[in-house]
Amino acid sequence: MGQERLHERHLRWSDVRKPLSSGRPRGYRPSHPRGSAASSGGPVPTYVYDFTQGGMDQRDLLGGKGANLAEMTRLGLPVPPGFTITTEACRAWLATGQEPEGLRAQVDEHLAGLEARMGRRLGQPDDPLLVSVRSGAKFSMPGMMETVLDVGLNDESVRGLAERSGDERFAWDSYRRLLQMFGTTVLGIAAEHFHDALGEVASLHQAPCDLDLGAPEWREVVDAYKGLVREHAGREFPQDPREQLDLAVRAVFDSWNAERAVLYRRQERIPGDLGTAVNVVAMVFGNLGTGSGTGVAFTRDPATGQQGVYGDYLQNAQGEDVVAGTRNTLPLAEMERIDARSYAELLRTMEVLEGHYRDLCDIEFTVERGTLWLLQTRVGKRTAAAAFRIACQLVDQGLIDEDEAVRRVSGEQLAQLMFPRFATGTSAERVARGMGASPGAAVGRAVFDSAAAVARSRAGEDVVLVRRETNPDDLDGMIAARGVLTSRGGKTSHAAVVARGMGRTCVCGADALDVDAAARRMVVRRPGAAPLVVDEGEVISIDGSSGDVFLGEVPVVDSPVVEYFEGRLDPGGEEADDLVRAVHRLMSRADAARRLRVRANADNGEDAARARRFGAEGVGLCRTEHMFLGERRRSVERLILADDEDEQEEALAALLPLQRGDFERLLAAMDGLPVTVRLLDPPLHEFLPDLTELSVRVAVAQARGGADEADERMLQAVHRLHEQNPMLGLRGVRLGLVVPGLFTMQVRALAEAAAARTQEGGRPRVEVMIPLVGSVQELELVRERSEEVLREVERATGVELAALIGTMVELPRAALTAGQIAGAAQFFSFGTNDLTQMTWGFSRDDVEAAFFPAYLERGVFGVSPFESLDVDGVGRLVEIAVREGRAARPDLKLGVCGEHGGDPASVHFFHRVGLDYVSCSPFRVPVARLEAGRAALAEGGGSDSR
């Protein structure tokens, strides 16, 4: 909300506009021509631009605020006069530590111009020109940078201001505000000193609130503040208005390198060498009586996208008062009743701005004694639903084309539209909060193990699975549950990743919960309240966006966008609202534009079928390990515990028909589309009990007289297979080479399934993917054997199998030797999860909770590299592999199957490097489709998604 107010009786908006169309403003003196040197003879850059000189394309030089103020000025809109000191001046100052040569002369000149235009000098004793000095960088850094208002007031001019405004209290309050802001910002005095001094005066006069202080009390505060300056800065507050201005400008420049700003930029990945611009603007005041006021206006409803008048207005007030929340604002429409003329002017202005910016604009304005002044505008933030509606509205109004409309919405917004939500106004009690790890709203009876989840779910109950943390054994329970709640782990913990993959709601890391699976309950620790015990069967509700955990049932609202994607809602039918129509329209355009194909990660026929409804053009990753869990675990254990090869063969033979059935269902669901099946990836001991738990059980049983013999035998096996770092152990192709029957069985099952499908008239398109390959020799060995199996099945069935054989590129070495590996691979699929782990050398299971928060806070990451691809490191490996793989084999098929396949920024990267497809979880398929379209459209010009 704007905080500048202009006190001037003569200047009118109409006066300010005139020169732009018809001539120069009264008293306006031309500054030097744009681009020329300032005053000295040297080739000095133009460091200062009048608002009449810049424009919205000059954000680099003038900052966002300065560029938009100039743009509005150019449009003839009522902006208080002022000028912008460029980011180039800032950079020069910070680089040398000295005021750049020529800057002072240019400021002199522009200040003189401003004074001439306003008809009075800065701080002129009897009628002072006051200015605000405000930062404005290229990228918004809210709250990071410094501002000083009311520059120009001093012991003399405060009296002039009182007299001219006819409001002595206002004048002294303004003076103390200058002292306070100048003291903290320019002189570096701690804010609490000013706060304490004000408190002392207030309590002395028994004034419960600032508003109860009159002019004499504010004079006392001014004296106290001047004392503070003397005491803490060792100098007097500068009475020279020009010195105030220069010091304030310098302070804004310096604030670019303040610790919090540096940290913010590190977190937001904003380059540290851009510098900030400084805007020097004539003050206007909304608190000069009931004919004055301040407000914020939106050209459309940022919540829904509906056209109309949205915003707030506060009569006789400054922006600070709105922020402080001491008085209630009025709906903007009510301004018509108070000041019909200014209101009409505002509406006209809004129309101009929206037409000009071709988008929802967010406007800050002030009315000073009946005159409207615009203090800032920018393209406004909006909700996801509003974004889709507005984009389509603008197309219909002819303001933008459909390509631009697609660029105006984002995959993240689409994702938000797809999750069910809790209805507002619940009476349920929020008892804890974790991380919103997988959005959505889930309600169900709390269960504390997978078996209970499955049992209750089969009995028709909705359940929420609550665990300390999850592991692959919990998969059945996670599938059966409506949502997953954990007390440990972050956004990339097993629970979070798997839940996101399944589109299952998940809250993780709710550390106020003590989960006791054995006792089938959890204890919720609450600050200042008794711990709460939640037993199995009690209903809880979790919000996967906010991370909130409620006791009791909160009503859930379904997403119509998902109904549409599922095919249950016809976008042309009557039931579809304008949001669904907008989504349909923009998705259609994105699909037509995109170059990347979008596949889904799906491990069974059901997921594949849903993914296909969501627009998936194949399966990019079928993880076969999920096919080894549940009831099949017995066979897997037999395989591992086998004493000889015959027993191994038997165990594998028992698994073969089951695997074949899995594959048949998957191929049926994706008939005619490619299906990539990854051979078994995890280490074998993931299918065995936990070493520590089993050791304890056996030891305790032994201490009590004798352990179960089967347990003891199992413990030996677990010991034998135990690894210090399973992620870096015997898994993937390594396991396939050490236990060759395993991969052979999988390839045979897949080949037989494809043959059966073909015989039934289907069109299976099989791609066999070998995981964890680091060298071409590994791939060659498995490939040879796999081809033998394929030929055997071809001979046995008479069906020709045109299966592709390729590899996952998930080790740095695979990327670095891609040229060699491509010699043996028909396709690469980048496994960017593991590739990220190996490239950074951290396991997401271990490090996320341990140090990601600290890393994000300190700006080492802007975003977790597991969420969005690390372009500099992991991305470079991807680029190397793409380039050298294609050079070795021009028809090499390239895709990605990590979590990043559904991440918007990553999709743009994959588009740029030229992959053939991305693959992601079924629920992210529409997101990837949209972003792939945006990436293609961004190439043709227009804004990128970033």
Helix (H, G, I), strand (E, B) or coil at 490: coil
* Closest approach of a copy of itself to the CB of residue 487, in Å: 13
Could you tell me the two tokens for 623? 């993880």
Residue whose CB is less far from a copy of itself, 181 or 513:
513
- DSSP string for residues in 120-175: S-BT-TTS-B-EEEEEEESS--TTTS-EEEEET--TTHHHHHHHHHT-HHHHHHHH
Residues 6+ apart with CB under 8 A from 279: 63, 65, 66, 69, 82, 83, 84, 85, 132, 133, 134, 135, 136
Stretch that binds a copy of itself, among 74-82, 168-176, 517-525, 853-861 (CB under 8 A): 853-861
Is residue 742 involved in binding a copy of itself (CB under 8 A)?
no
* Closest approach of a copy of itself to the CB of residue 263, in Å: 11
> In this structure, are residues 544 and 439 in contact, taking their beta carbons and an 8 Å threshold?
yes
Distances (CA, A) of 229 to 154, 169, 187, 197, 198: 14, 22, 8, 12, 14
Residues 6+ apart with CB under 8 A from 410: 387, 904, 930, 931, 934, 945
The identity of residue 520, as a single letter, is R
Is residue 271 involved in binding a copy of itself (CB under 8 A)?
no
**705 backbone dihedrals φ, ψ, rounded to 5°:** 130, -10
**C-beta atoms surrounding 344 within 10 Å:** 13
Residues 6+ apart with CB under 8 A from 823: 776, 888, 889
Applying CB under 8 A, which of residues 324, 340, 728, 887 lies at the interface with a copy of itself?
A: 728
Of 385, 146, 135, the residue nearest 258 (C-alpha): 146
The annotation places the binding site for substrate at: 623, 678, 810, 831-834
Is residue 838 involved in binding a copy of itself (CB under 8 A)?
yes
Instruction: Region of 374 please: left (phi>0), alpha (psi -120 to 50) or beta.
Output: beta
> In this structure, are residues 622 and 921 in contact, taking their beta carbons and an 8 Å threshold?
no
Stretch that binds a copy of itself, among 162-170, 233-241, 633-641, 729-737 (CB under 8 A): 729-737
Could you tell me the two tokens for 308? 């109309």
**Rounded distance between C-alpha atoms, residue 603 and residue 588, angstroms:** 27
Is residue 846 involved in binding a copy of itself (CB under 8 A)?
yes
* Closest approach of a copy of itself to the CB of residue 737, in Å: 6
Task: Scan residues 679-708 and list those touching a copy of itself (CB under 8 A).
Answer: 691-692, 695-696, 699-700, 703-704
Stretch that binds a copy of itself, among 141-149, 273-281, 523-531, 846-854 (CB under 8 A): 846-854
Residue ranges of alpha helices (H) inside 739-831 are 740-759, 776-797, 812-816, 818-821
Is residue 95 involved in binding a copy of itself (CB under 8 A)?
no
The annotation places the binding site at: 623, 678, 810, 831-834
Residue whose CB is less far from a copy of itself, 367 or 811:
811
* 361-368/429-433 β-pairing: unpaired
The identity of residue 645, as a single letter, is E
Is residue 337 involved in binding a copy of itself (CB under 8 A)?
no
* Closest approach of a copy of itself to the CB of residue 734, in Å: 5
Is residue 724 involved in binding a copy of itself (CB under 8 A)?
yes
> In this structure, are residues 128 and 95 in contact, taking their beta carbons and an 8 Å threshold?
no
The identity of residue 142, as a single letter, is P
The annotation places the binding site for Mg(2+) at: 810, 834
Residues 6+ apart with CB under 8 A from 805: 767, 768, 770, 783, 786, 787, 825, 826
Is residue 725 involved in binding a copy of itself (CB under 8 A)?
yes
Is residue 656 involved in binding a copy of itself (CB under 8 A)?
no
Task: Scan residues 249-268 and list those touching a copy of itself (CB under 8 A).
Answer: 266
Is residue 845 involved in binding a copy of itself (CB under 8 A)?
yes
Stretch that binds a copy of itself, among 26-34, 47-55, 479-487, 812-820 (CB under 8 A): 812-820
What strands, in cross-sheet order, belong to the sheet with 131-137?
48-50, 82-85, 276-282, 131-137, 147-151
Is residue 781 involved in binding a copy of itself (CB under 8 A)?
yes
Of 183, 178, 208, 185, the residue nearest 193 (C-alpha): 183
| 897 counts as catalytic | yes
Could you tell me the two tokens for 490? 């972050």
**Rounded distance between C-alpha atoms, residue 726 and residue 730, angstroms:** 7
Residue whose CB is less far from a copy of itself, 697 or 886:
697
Task: Scan residues 562-621 and list those touching a copy of itself (CB under 8 A).
Answer: none
Task: Scan residues 864-893 and list those touching a copy of itself (CB under 8 A).
Answer: 870, 872-874, 876-877
Residue whose CB is less far from a copy of itself, 586 or 739:
739
Residue whose CB is less far from a copy of itself, 691 or 799:
691
Task: Scan residues 406-465 and list those touching a copy of itself (CB under 8 A).
Answer: none
Task: Scan residues 815-834 and list those touching a copy of itself (CB under 8 A).
Answer: 816-817, 820, 834
Which is catalytic among the residues 494, 584, 900, 908? 494
> In this structure, are residues 677 and 622 in contact, taking their beta carbons and an 8 Å threshold?
yes
* Closest approach of a copy of itself to the CB of residue 145, in Å: 22
**Rounded distance between C-alpha atoms, residue 582 and residue 576, angstroms:** 10
Is residue 855 involved in binding a copy of itself (CB under 8 A)?
yes
Residues 6+ apart with CB under 8 A from 335: 293, 295, 313, 342, 343, 346
Residue whose CB is less far from a copy of itself, 420 or 855:
855
* Closest approach of a copy of itself to the CB of residue 144, in Å: 18
Is residue 812 involved in binding a copy of itself (CB under 8 A)?
yes
Residue whose CB is less far from a copy of itself, 498 or 586:
498
Residue whose CB is less far from a copy of itself, 530 or 854:
854
Number of residues that bind a copy of itself (CB under 8 A): 57
Is residue 139 involved in binding a copy of itself (CB under 8 A)?
no
What strands, in cross-sheet order, belong to the sheet with 513-516?
513-516, 521-526, 529-535
Applying CB under 8 A, which of residues 774, 895, 901, 933 lies at the interface with a copy of itself?
A: 774
Map residues 2-21 to x or -, x wherever contact with a copy of itself holds by CB under 8 A.
--------------------
Residue whose CB is less far from a copy of itself, 832 or 837:
837
Is residue 729 involved in binding a copy of itself (CB under 8 A)?
yes
Residue whose CB is less far from a copy of itself, 257 or 588:
257
Is residue 727 involved in binding a copy of itself (CB under 8 A)?
yes
Residue whose CB is less far from a copy of itself, 595 or 813:
813
Which is catalytic among the residues 110, 897, 900, 908? 897
Is residue 726 involved in binding a copy of itself (CB under 8 A)?
yes
* Closest approach of a copy of itself to the CB of residue 638, in Å: 21
* Closest approach of a copy of itself to the CB of residue 469, in Å: 10
Could you tell me the two tokens for 374? 């615009």
Is residue 772 involved in binding a copy of itself (CB under 8 A)?
yes
Buried b (16+ CB within 10 A) or exposed e, 573-598: eeebeebbbbbbbbbebbeebbebbb
Residue whose CB is less far from a copy of itself, 98 or 777:
777
**Rounded distance between C-alpha atoms, residue 345 and residue 478, angstroms:** 58
> In this structure, are residues 899 and 497 in contact, taking their beta carbons and an 8 Å threshold?
yes
* Closest approach of a copy of itself to the CB of residue 10, in Å: 54
Is residue 843 involved in binding a copy of itself (CB under 8 A)?
yes
Is residue 840 involved in binding a copy of itself (CB under 8 A)?
yes
Applying CB under 8 A, which of residues 375, 811, 897, 918 lies at the interface with a copy of itself?
A: 811
Question: What are the residues binding a copy of itself (CB under 8 A)?
Answer: 266, 691-692, 695-696, 699-700, 703-704, 723-730, 734, 737-738, 772, 774-775, 777-778, 781, 810-813, 816-817, 820, 834, 837-843, 845-847, 850-851, 854-855, 858-860, 870, 872-874, 876-877
List residues with catalytic annotation.
Answer: 494, 897
